[in-house]
Amino acid sequence: MDRELIHPGTSHVWSPHSVGTVLALLASGSSHRTLAQIVSLIGRDFAGQLLDLDSSVAPEPGLDLAVLNGLYVPRDLPLRRTFVDHVRARGGAEIANVDFRGDTEGVRRYINGRVAQVTRGLIDQLLPPGLPPPDVRLLLVNALWVKMVWQESFKPSRTKPVPFRAPGGSRPVATMHRTARLPLARAHGWSLVSLAGGHGLYLDVLLPDTAAPTPPPLAPELLSALYRAQAPTMTKLALPRFTVRTSVSLLGPLTRLGVEEMVGGRARFDAISPEPLAVSEILHQAVLRVDEKGAEGAAATGVIMMRAGLPSRPVEFTVDRPFVFALRRGASILFMGRVTDPVDPGPAA
């Protein structure tokens, strides 16, 4: 998935945990080719993956972490008991009947409020105005927040501007400094350093040996090799303070990865409801902030499902570049041409 979210020259962040949770839950409710395509992406043992994902966000005294797994449906949608149990077994489970058709804006405010509560305000609008549509049949939401404090913090007095080779040219950025024995690895054209927090939390920073406007995607086997090669090494670390935020629809990336049956009339979610359902949108937001004290991250993923066969969210068509036109009656084209620089005739009389 990470490869599909890369845009040259731009930063991005996403949560494999949040996305993995909703995809595994969708897998537990799907069948036929819909299930086969999801499994081709996340693996066949999605039930085991759900347990692993849950264990990684299990509550612990002193751990700053919160999670939400919400299932929101109208009262007239019948649900399979097994799927309800799958959601209820997750941490932070919330299953509620809502009135999408009669109070769409109220539902939007409530869910955005729950996400904002869980993410400590870092994500305050998972659902933008206009979503969910009144005829939505099911909304599945995962939200995650975690805050880690460095075991050894950076001294703010040592933070100073250092040139950073950004895609648009070198510019000074506030950079933190620390010298310590840290887990370090160098292999296959990459370097990896890990910064420890409490409760088993780490921030890994991976740096390619060769500068590029956008670092290339990392294969899982390469990442594993770097982890195996890590050894405590005296390291003079200079790390920028940074914050990165991403808001994206995942339907395009998932389609490019071969998961396309979940959308449209061929979708099969028989194990969620006897009513035919299809995914109309998957929204994802994530944010990560790193400073002298530690790191704070939040993510939210929302899956909007409609009755299969109903129109999904409108496709955007913005005429903002030269275009061709044709005025016709039936099959007979009366006028045809191109517009490269529109001349405004003024408002209609």
Q: For residues 89 and 34, give the distance between their C-alpha atoms in angstroms, rounded to a whole number.
A: 23
pLDDT of 81 higher than 80: yes
- Would you give the end-to-end CA distance of the chain in angstroms? 52
CATH class of 2-149+243-307: alpha beta
More confident residue, 323 or 172: 172
Residue linked to tokens 């939200």: 143
pLDDT at position 172, please? 86
Average pLDDT over residues 23-44: 94
166 DSSP β-pair partners: 169
| Inter-CA distances, 72 with 76, 111, 210, 330, Å | 12, 9, 47, 46
DSSP code of residue 218: P
Q: Which CATH architecture has domain 160-240?
A: Roll (2.30)
53 DSSP β-pair partners: none
Sign of the torsion formed by the C-alpha atoms of 188, 243, 6 and 146: positive
pLDDT of 312 higher than 70: no
Share of the chain above pLDDT 70, in %: 89
Phi, psi dihedral angles at 110 (to 5 degrees) = -65, -50
Neighbours of 148 (CB within 10 A): 23
Neighbours of 19 (CB within 10 A): 21
Residue intervals in the chain for CATH 2.30.39.10: 160-240
| H/E segment holding residue 31 | none
Provide the token pair at 32.
């036929």
pTM of the prediction?
Answer: 0.85
Residue intervals in the chain for CATH 3.30.497.10: 2-149+243-307
- Residues sharing a CB contact under 8 Å with residue 148, sequence separation 6 or more, in sequence order: 64, 197, 198, 199, 201, 203, 294, 295, 296
Sign of the torsion formed by the C-alpha atoms of 264, 82, 257 and 5: positive
pLDDT at position 329, please? 47
Give the three-state DSSP class for 267. Answer: coil
Average pLDDT over residues 267-278: 95
Q: Please, are residues 177 and 158 in contact by the beta-carbon 8 Å criterion?
A: yes
pLDDT of 10 higher than 60: yes
Q: Please, are residues 209 and 185 in contact by the beta-carbon 8 Å criterion?
A: no
Per-residue confidence band for 198, with pLDDT thresholds at 50, 70 and 90: confident
Phi, psi dihedral angles at 24 (to 5 degrees) = -65, -35
pLDDT at position 22, please? 96
pLDDT of 225 higher than 80: yes
Phi, psi dihedral angles at 221 (to 5 degrees) = -70, -30
Per-residue confidence band for 333, with pLDDT thresholds at 50, 70 and 90: very low
pLDDT at position 323, please? 53
Average pLDDT over residues 263-281: 93
Give the three-state DSSP class for 277. Answer: strand
More confident residue, 203 or 99: 99
Neighbours of 305 (CB within 10 A): 27
| Inter-CA distances, 86 with 75, 78, 248, Å | 19, 16, 26
Average pLDDT over residues 128-136: 92
Neighbours of 67 (CB within 10 A): 23
Provide the token pair at 234.
């005296």
DSSP code of residue 124: -
pLDDT of 338 higher than 70: no
Average pLDDT over residues 280-288: 93
| Inter-CA distances, 221 with 181, 225, 323, Å | 26, 6, 46
pLDDT at position 330, please? 52
